[in-house]
Amino acid sequence: MIVDYRSEEFNVSLLFLDKLKTIEIWETGSGVKTRLAMWTKSRVPSSLHDPLLPLITYDSVLSDGDAEYSWRIVQTQGPENEAITRLSQVAGHDSVNYIVQRCKLRPDVRIAYPLTSRERMSGRLFTFPPLPSKTCFPVHIHALFALTSSRQSLRNPNETGIMQGSDNGVLIKWNQLLFHHYRPQTWDYLLKTLAEDASCSDILDAWPPYCSSVTSGDGVYWQDILSNTFKVIVGSQLKDWPTVTAQGTTNYIDLKSSLIVARGEVDADVLVVLAELGLTCVQLPQSLLDLVDDSMAKLSSSVAHERLQGVGAFDRLSADKRALVCKYLLSDTPDESKTINTLMA
């Protein structure tokens, strides 16, 4: 057990513990004590914290004495009365407040993203210490989940015979509230902070994965995590989306202010020239592109042609760039001379 704990959990056990700063493993025998391992934690306030939002942002640095590992943590500060009101609306129980107080539940959701490691991690759930529940997320998530008595899993939403308004039914609704309401808001702001200080090379790697095939176990709670997160982030209009720029740098915008295209669908050099001409394009993986609805604009040669009409920068392009963009714009436009004349006008 100690071997498993040391290899799988020890390095992150301090991540969401507020009071504990050091954790050690000692071996004793024959009057001799040997320290096998130690981790310490320090907290660095973030300059990205916005006092007007119900969220706290800070960086946590974990160290084993040889190396340091930094984590960006975003924590909700949702009012308890608001959470109880929301829970009452979906749980249909007159004693929601009593159940929440008895189980010591609060809308405390935190998401930790690794700033140091560039390796893809597989996250897990925490209720202060780590829980056995492992996820496929690129983050760790802490919340005051409603757990089973053994603390080995979340309350089972697929359990048969659960009556609407029962204590168990209320606790399942509580977990759903954490995942469907508070968790996507926290993830949204996490992405905003990563964008603002360029903390990751590809911010889309910090998104939750597609999990809709999950049909049992704790994963039922997050089977719609990608679509749910996408909806909240698009609705918030925060600048979480990386654009293609002519300078090779990464800027971030609101998705509805861009032209959206699948990764790899349009040649990268073409996108750079379109950016130079003033078009703002965002490349998305197919899993996110499938969630884009008609309220957002997708890039196509005809859409680009329409947006570029009368753009004065076209005649300032080099001959090679002009040929490149014209080839793209003509891919579904048969009248070449008309297209070029329109752009030059």
Q: Which residues of 297-328 are buried (b: 16+ CB within 10 A; e: fewer)?
A: eebbbeebbebbeebeebeebeeebbebbbeb
For residue 174, give every residue at least 6 positions away whose Cβ sits within 8 Å of its Cβ, in sequence order, or none.
Answer: 87, 91, 100, 105, 146
Can you tell me the mean pLDDT for 106-122? Answer: 87
Can you tell me the mean pLDDT for 71-87? Answer: 91
Lowest mean per-residue pLDDT among 44-58, 176-190, 274-288: 44-58
What confidence tier does 335 reach under pLDDT thresholds 50, 70, 90? Answer: low
Asked if pLDDT for residue 338 goes beyond 50, the answer is no
Residue 294: Cβ within 10 Å count: 6
For residue 178, give every residue at least 6 positions away whose Cβ sits within 8 Å of its Cβ, in sequence order, or none.
Answer: 107, 109, 143, 144, 145
Model confidence, pTM: 0.89
The per-residue pLDDT for 5 is 74
The per-residue pLDDT for 313 is 76
Q: Which residues of 145-169 are buried (b: 16+ CB within 10 A; e: fewer)?
A: bbbeeeeeebbbbeeeebeeeebbb
The per-residue pLDDT for 341 is 54
Dist. CA 65–CA 68, nearest whole Å: 8
Half-sphere exposure of 49 toward its Cβ, with a 13 Å CA cutoff? 17
Report which listed range, 25-29, 258-262, 303-307, is most confident.
258-262
For residue 326, give every residue at least 6 positions away whose Cβ sits within 8 Å of its Cβ, in sequence order, or none.
Answer: 336, 339, 340, 343
Domain ranges of the chain: 1-238, 241-344
- The share of the chain scoring above pLDDT 70, in percent, equals 91
Dist. CA 251–CA 241, nearest whole Å: 8
> Tell me, what DSSP letter sits at residue 285?
-
